[in-house]
Structures are given as C-alpha cells and as structure tokens.
Amino acid sequence: MSPSEADVRLAISSVEDPDLRRGLAELGMIGRIEAHRRRTTVEILVPAQGWSGADELAERVTSELSAARAGGPWPEPHVDMRVMTDVEREELLRRLSAPRGGEPARVAPPTAAKLPHTPGGPPGPIGHEEGRPNRFMIPGSRTRVIGISSGKGGVGKSSVTVNLAVALSAMGREVGVLDADVYGFSVPGMLGVERDPAAIGDLLVPPVVHGVRVLSMGFFVPDDQPVIWRGPMLHKALEQFLVDAYWGEPDYLLIDMPPGTGDVALSLGQYLPRTEVVVVTTPQLAAQRVAQRSALAARTLKLPVRGVIENMSWFTGDDSKRYELFGAGGGEALSQSLGVPLLGKLPFVTEVRHAADVGVPVAVSDPDGEAAGAFRDLAKQLDSLGPSRIYKSELAVR
C-alpha cells in the first residue's frame, strides 16, 4: 500500500533547512508530492538558484523518507529541487519575518540583492530602506547579546569568541557570531567557513558552520584589502549586518569586537543597548590595566560588564606541570577592580593556534583536550549567569 500525500508531507515537515534552521513545513518549502507504489517524488522549493544548502537538504529529506520506508511498505524516495517563484519567495520572507509560532509580518516584494562586492567599500543597501526592525531589541527577544572585548590586540579575543560559540552550540544553544572587528576580521577563517552568505531577495542569510551562524566583513572584501572607513560608514555596515541579515532567534549573539574603545564600540552601544560585555585579558598586570579601559568604556556607554576571561593563563608541559609563561594574577586583579566574576581561565595551547589556522576550532578538532574542556567550562559559567537585565513589558512600572 502506497503512502498518501499527507503521510509523506507529515514525514518531512520537520526536516530543517541547513541555513534557515527551520522546518520545511513552517517555511513553506514543500512543493508537490507524488506518492506511487514504486516511487515517492517530493518537490522541495529552494529560495534561489544555487542555494548553498540544497544538497544537504536533499540528503536530509531522503534520509527521513528512507527511515519511514524501513518501518513500512513505502516506495523508494526521490527528491526534486525547484527554485521558488517571486510570489513563493515573498511568502518565505513573510514567514522568516515572524518569530516561531508567530504571525508573519507583511514585507515589501523582494528585489535584487545588492551585495557589497566593491573592494574596501561599505556594504550596499541590502534592504534597510524597508524599515526592518532590530530583532535583538524587540521586547521579549530571547537573545543574549554578548560583546567579547579587549583593551588591545593579541590577547586571543577572536579565538575565545569562536571556541566559546562552538562550546555553547554543543550545549544545545542556538548561536550567532558577528565579527565586528571590521579592520582585523578573522572569524570566517577560524571557523573554516567556505561559502559566502546566501541571499533571499534582499535578505542576507549568514552561513552556518559547526552549528554557529556567522557574518563578517571578511565575506565582502578580499583578505589583503584594507578597510579604510570613517565612523558613519562603520555604523551603517554594522547596522546592516544586524538588520538586513537573517539571524533567526539565537539564544546568543556573540560579537567579536575590535580592540580598544573606538567607533565600533560606540555604534554597538547605541544600536544594541542590551549588549553584555565580557573582557578578555592575559595574566600580566600590564595587559590587565589596558583591558580595564575597555571595561570602563563599556560602562560609560551603560553596557553591563558581566565578567572577565583570562587567556593564556598557563602552559602544561610534558612533565604535566603548569608553567605561567605570562605571569599571573591579571585576570583576578581585573575582576576584583571591576567587581565582576572571573568567568574562566584558558590554557596556552598550541593546538588552539593550529586549529585557528586550519579553520577547525579546537573545541571541534580536539574535543577531549585541555583547551576544549576549558571552553566548555567557560560556556557553562556564562550560561549560568543568565541575562543581566529582564526586558518584559508586563514587568514595567506604570
């Protein structure tokens, strides 16, 4: 007995698109279904030609139908891909505009995406003229925005951001990373991202790798091209990365901030006033004093400083002894002076550097190693803090 169309549709309804990370039925991506005695054909609607997740999506649908086939007399599955029409794409954008389980909002009809391919130039208008809201600032948003900051470069801030994101993802949290270090972007390389963001009309869809959604200036300018911008251009680029990109509803948005206290920090303070700041330092006291400036700048912008991370705290030798190569006490001194907890100490491990060079975070390449364990502990500690402020309309004083 052949399965009905309803049976097939139900079997694949919860299969998630790899990039959009929502079920096919919820997204309206299931097309025609032909269920015959010898073969079941399913049409999947993809948003654009060359959709990056198409092959993996076809595998997921085939796997789900094969599993159903193993449990009963189902015919061999076959998956066809078809590019959406403009009307279908508009409907998809409506669905993406709504929170899960919410009512889709009306959006303007899709237009050709204007991706920023001009070397060294700012991103073009990717749809902000339509007035998309800053979803991270909407009352009731579940996303915790965490700014990973430092007073100076060279303390491993980007490595901490990347591995912390992967560790949080491994805990079952949905995580996005915004590489806001527009002058020294490195996150795509550290995560091993091999494809650019996709586009649905004028909406950017950041790629997902190791369970983490990531967006960076590194997708839009060559590695050897300097970014020479003034403050307003930086502000506009960051605004577009937040508003004109599909982030879903992550539990965490980690922002790899540039070192120091310049324009990017000011822009984030204005545009993401709920940002919680975590400061990365190294053990030497000189580095602690520099990192303190970053924390005080955050407080000047009314951003809560939630804790300190001490990186490169020790090196474990072949004799199993810990050697404090860069001194000791910097993390503790900074946390005490700021009145915030020391969230964790991370070892100086060559595998972290090597993993970043080859694009496989150490939390993935060596999950049982000393560094991966330290990042797991750090992720648990950050997660246990909970958000710094509660934003719920029902709690407002009237």
Tokens of 90: 């508009």
Does 237 lie in the same domain as 159? yes
Position 367 in a domain: yes
Position 83 in a domain: yes
Position 71 in a domain: yes
Closest CA to 223 of 175, 257, 248, 187: 187
Does 153 lie in the same domain as 235? yes
Does 237 lie in the same domain as 376? yes
Number of domains in the chain: 2
Does 260 lie in the same domain as 160? yes
Residue 16 DSSP class: B
Position 114 in a domain: no
Per-residue pLDDT of the chain (398 residues; tens, 9 = 90+): 678 889 899 999 999 999 999 999 999 999 999 988 788 899 999 999 999 889 999 999 999 998 887 767 778 889 999 999 999 999 999 999 877 655 444 433 333 334 343 333 444 433 344 456 677 878 778 899 999 988 777 788 999 999 999 999 999 999 999 998 777 788 999 999 988 899 898 899 999 999 999 999 888 776 666 666 666 777 787 888 888 899 999 999 999 988 766 667 777 777 788 889 999 999 987 777 778 878 888 888 888 999 999 999 999 998 989 998 888 888 999 999 899 999 999 999 888 888 888 889 998 999 999 999 999 999 999 999 988 764 444 433 33
Closest CA to 205 of 100, 52, 102, 98: 52
Does 161 lie in the same domain as 230? yes
Position 158 in a domain: yes
Tokens of 354: 């090597």
Does 337 lie in the same domain as 228? yes
- Domain final residue pick, 97, 113, 144: 97
- Residue pair 244/202 in contact (Cβ under 8 Å)? The answer is yes
* Residues 41, 42, 43, 49, CA torsion sign: negative
- Domain final residue pick, 80, 97, 114: 97
Does 382 lie in the same domain as 247? yes
- CA dist 373 and 380 (Å) reads 11
* Structural domain that includes position 243: 128-395
Does 248 lie in the same domain as 186? yes
- Domain final residue pick, 46, 74, 97: 97
Does 223 lie in the same domain as 344? yes
The pLDDT of residue 105: 42
Position 120 in a domain: no
CATH of the domain at 23: 3.30.300.130
Does 210 lie in the same domain as 291? yes
Does 220 lie in the same domain as 74? no
Position 118 in a domain: no
Does 139 lie in the same domain as 45? no
Closest CA to 6 of 68, 54, 63: 68
Position 121 in a domain: no
The pTM score is 0.84
CATH of the domain at 232: 3.40.50.300
Tokens of 325: 């190569």
